[in-house]
Structure 1
Amino acid sequence: MTPRLEPIEEPDEPEIQSAYRTMRQEFGTVPTPVKVVTARMSESLEVNRMLQKFHEGIQLEPELKLVVGMFTSEINGCGFCVDLTQSEAIREDLDMEKFDALTEYQASPLFSDRERAALAYAEEVTCQKNVSDATFEALCEHFDEQAIVEITWLNAFQNYTNLVNIPLGIESDGLRAIAQSETQMEHEE
């Protein structure tokens, strides 16, 4: 599937050109959302930088952050966000078996009760925009108040990015494959 708006391969604005160079270095390509959205709405570059910085400051362990984000994206059907999260997991040298088993999190031995509580919460919020008392109580058994707010923010942020990409027809960029290739080359050296 191709994006509904033609990706801008060579932007005119110097700040966007610089962002493209940075993205090529970081991901091996310029992600399609940058070429479709940021190239047309340069103001979003600073907003995205601030959100990313805020996201990095979240104190939850990196694997849980990625698992919650990827699961939210899977529920919503955002191929780009799933691909991006998988590439981040590979770059952080995390076991992909857990990421590949997300749809079976409730029964899979790969997930702890703590992770199951976070994923059930994210699933219910994403699907219903609210949660039952039982789901919230299960979350409270495993997380303190700050962590609950962080999980809620992560889920909301992921839903936001999904709602930018999905209507514009932005799908996978093959970032997982690029990350796997880069990681394999590093291990061979």
Structure 2
Amino acid sequence: MRFVYWMMGRKFGKVMIPVKVVTARMSGSLGLNRKLQKFHKKIQLEPELKLMVRTLTSEINGCGFCVDLAQSEVIRENLGMEKFNALAEYQTSPLFSDRERAALAYAEEVTRHKNVSDATFEELRKHFNDREIVEITWLNTVQNYTNLVNIPLEIEFDGLCAIAKSETQIEHDERTPVQNVEG
């Protein structure tokens, strides 16, 4: 576990609470999570859409940790927070494309009802091919699974978004040339 804690510290600036709570008591879950992360990288959907689906699912379920983690990824990937802050209004906000709305409506309906209407699925089919629909479904399913591990164990915000913001600011400051100001 020391190695896992060290790696977490390097990657996220701290050891995440789920690792302290779940992995420390059920070490086999680490292998499963690593396999899920590795598989997640093979998903071909655009990174912003993947994060939007994950974040909306976590917001609906009330998983503060997962929202915090996803937002920290948004910051680390330099995607901009505007859409993520407006996810609750995705249906009406001009920030979202019809493609994004279709994916988010599908993820929302699956999360809330474990099924979707024909109309929701048909709208999804207008914007996504079969593989992409399966990828959206998989992302939503895995996010619901993660939420259902964290919520009952009361794993909440972990400060990951704040750490990512401070790291991004430090990187920005290091790249910004210092100007000589006289007078």
TM-score, normalised by the number of residues in structure 2: 0.95
Matches within 5 A, 1:1-189: 16-189=1-174
Q: Which residue identity lines up with residue 42 of structure 1 in the other structure?
A: S
Find the aligned partners of 2:114 and 2:71 in 1 and give their Cα distance. Answer: 25
Question: Matched residues in 2 for 1:87 and 1:67: separation?
Answer: 13
Cα displacement (A) at 1:95: 1.1
Match of 2:178 in 1: none
- Structure 2's unaligned 5+ residue stretches are 175-183
C-alpha displacement of 1:134 = 0.2
CA distance in 2, matches of 1:96, 1:123: 20
Distance 1:58 1:21 in 2: 28
* 1:17 shift after superposition: 1.3
Q: Secondary structure at the match of 1:82?
A: helix
How far apart, in 2, do the equivalents of 1:106 and 1:153 lie?
A: 22
- Stretches of structure 1 lacking an aligned partner (at least 5 in a row): 1-15
| Distance in 2 of aligned mates of 1:98 and 1:80 | 19
Per-residue CA distance 1:142-166 (angstroms, 9 max, x = gap):
0000000000000000000000000
> Per-residue deviation at 1:179?
0.1
Amino acid at match of 1:148: I
Separation (CA, whole Å) in 2 of partners of 1:60 and 1:17: 34
Instruction: Measure, in 2, the Cα distance between the counterparts of 1:75 and 1:93.
Output: 24
Cα distance in structure 2, aligned partners of 1:167 and 1:156: 17
CA distance in structure 1 between the aligned counterparts of 2:124 and 2:2, rounded to whole angstroms: 43
**For 1:130 and 1:35, how far apart are their aligned partners in 2?**
34
**SS state at 1:171 partner:** coil
RMSD: 0.4
Structure of higher CA gyration radius: 2
Match of 1:87, as an amino acid? S
Percentage of pairs with the same residue: 74
* Secondary structure in structure 1 of the residue aligned to 2:94: coil
The offset of 1:99, in angstroms, is 0.3
SS of corresponding position for 2:115: coil
Instruction: Quote the Cα distance in structure 1 between the aligned partners of 2:117 and 2:103.
Output: 13
The number of equivalent residue pairs is 174
